[in-house]
A = this chain, B = another copy of it.
Amino acid sequence: MEITSTSKAFGGAQHFCVHESAQVKTPMTFSVFVPPQAASEKVPALLWLSGLTCTAENFTVKAGAQRKAAELGLALIAPDTSPRGDGVPDDPDGAYDFGLGAGFYVNATASPFDAHYRMRAYVEEELLGVVADAFPIDVARLGLSGHSMGGHGALTIGLRNPGRFRIISAFSPIVSPINCPWGRKALQGYLGDDAAAWRAYDACALLEDGCRAPELLVEQGLADPFLEEQLRPELLVKAARDASVPLTLNYREGYDHSYYFIASFIDAHLAWHRERL
């Protein structure tokens, strides 16, 4: 792993890093914010999964999360959203919602995507080890959050791995890819036509199938243009209720799908995670 840039921020350090990923078989970029408290002790961390079209940069430069993270003594880890580089297949039409920048946090099984699109395995099995080898992060105290496609990633990876991630939140998540156009396109493209295989990548289906979390926190803007067709938080409300998982869903009047929305409420999520780590 190589640290490609470091800037001091809020008394801590904002790093960008690149490494050769064994899981996705390309170089992968991620950012790590190390708070000042890490100078004397290992710190808990929040892993942030980003949405469609994002790289490791979007959350890092736009969310304004470092200020509160520095205050709380919380590290922030933000990986890229797909493999990148020569030989990585993309959407045949170059669409923004599949392929590069749109890995959907799955392990692809359909050719030609199965060779590289293994973002589930990358997040669950590789990334945190690479980060913890280089930075003073306590991997027993990890929270998970994300936005949109990354909110889907946070919910599904978190629900499948309660021993690895203590607590999960999400902003504007795709709560049920099986039941929205973005999700159906991605799951069919990466996994093929057998819809039974898709359920492992659907937060609502995972809850129906027995996965559990101690509680869930979801932030959703009511002026989000993707709310009704793609995000459908009401499906998560029902699935969480049926599974007896406490869900706090904050609807925010007037807020859209952008990082201005995330920035407006990220401090509360960071504090919520920190209390539970």
Contacts and interface: CB of A to CB of B under 8 A. Distances in A.
Given A7-B261, A8-B256, A61-B259, 13 more contacts: A7-B255, A7-B260, A8-B255, A9-B260, A9-B263, A9-B264, A11-B264, A61-B61, A64-B64, A66-B260, A67-B263, A67-B264, A67-B267
Interface of A: 7-11, 14, 61-62, 64, 66-67, 221, 223, 254-256, 258-261, 263-264, 267
Which of A66, A258, A264 neighbours the largest number of chain B CB atoms within 10 Å of its CB? A264
**Total copies of the chain:** 2
A11 B260 CA distance: 10
Contacts of A255: 7-8
A223 B8 CA distance: 9
A254 B7 CA distance: 8
B67 A260 contact: no
Contact of A8 (B11, B14, B64, B254): B254
A261 B8 contact: yes
Contacts of A263: 9-10, 64, 66-67
A101 to B, nearest CB: 18
Contacts of A264: 8-11, 67
B61 A7 contact: no
Nearest to A68: B67
A7 B258 contact: yes
30 contacts: A7-B255, A7-B256, A7-B258, A7-B260, A7-B261, A8-B221, A8-B223, A8-B254, A8-B255, A8-B256, A8-B260, A8-B261, A8-B264, A9-B260, A9-B263, A9-B264, A10-B264, A11-B264, A14-B260, A61-B61, A61-B62, A61-B259, A62-B62, A64-B64, A64-B67, A66-B260, A66-B263, A67-B263, A67-B264, A67-B267
Q: Could you say which of A9, A62, A267 has the most chain B C-beta atoms within 10 Å of its C-beta? A: A9
A14 B255 CA distance: 11
A168 to B, nearest CB: 24
A70 to B, nearest CB: 9
Sorted nearest first, the 8 A-B pairs with minimum C-beta distance are A64-B64, A9-B260, A7-B260, A8-B254, A8-B255, A7-B258, A10-B264, A61-B62
